[in-house]
Amino acid sequence: MLSLLAALGLGGLSAVVPVVNAEALAAAAGGFGAWQAVGLVLALALGQSTARMVLFEAGRRGSARCAARSSASRAPRARHRAGSRWAESRWAGWTRERLSCRGSRSSLVLASAAVGLPPLTVISVAAGAAQQPRWEFWSLCVVGRIVRFGVLAVPAVLALA
């Protein structure tokens, strides 16, 4: 039970502190046996997905503040002029476009959580800014992280079986 709580905490910590590696614990979880590995994978996924909500909320609240500030300002902004500080990169535009559509945002968040490309940290903030529903983001993160950590734990379980 203590190892599950530790995995939950480590998963949460790894979501906000880049040097803490949840993938390494997931790979090592297979050495504890199949059922213990399942529990550790679930705890890591839940902890990391819950902590990603901090980044998600930062993106959501930050975009709301920027929208309020830009609507209050009457000065025109040069958003698309090259060299402007408001110029949008091609990748950011692609991500924003994908996150605005329900079908593509689900697949983008799921792929990011499972594969890691695009990075889940970036997608967490961008999904919050795109006003994706919280429950949808969190559940897709959990599923993707279970897949990712499970794939890393299975070789160790099979090798020690």
Judged on CB neighbours under 10 Å (0-12, 13-18, 19+), 68 is exposed
Q: Is residue 151 part of a domain?
A: yes
Q: Which of 53, 62, 56, 48 is nearest to 15 (CA)?
A: 48
Would residue 126 count as lying in a domain?
yes
Domain for residue 93, yes or no?
yes
Residue 148 CA to its chain's centroid (Å):
12
pLDDT of residue 1: 83
Alpha-carbon distance of 78 to 81, in angstroms, equals 6
Q: If pLDDT is split at 50, 70 and 90, which confidence band does 94 have?
A: confident
Domain assignment of residue 28, yes or no: yes
Q: Identify whether 71 is part of a domain.
A: no
N-term to C-term CA, the chain: 22
Judge contact between 54 and 124, C-beta under 8 A. no
Give this prediction's pTM.
0.84
Tokens of 117: 């490309």
Its domain, for residue 127, covers 2-66+89-160
Establish if 79 belongs to a structural domain. Answer: no
Per-residue model confidence as pLDDT tens digits over 114-146: 999 999 999 999 999 999 999 999 999 999 999
Note whether residue 24 is domain-resident: yes
Evaluate whether residue 47 is within a structural domain: yes
What is the tally of structural domains in the chain? 1
How many of the other CB atoms lie within 10 Å of CB of 31? 13
Per-residue pLDDT tens over the stretch 17-63: 989 999 999 999 989 999 999 999 999 999 999 999 999 999 999 87
Q: Which residue has the tokens 């939950």?
A: 8
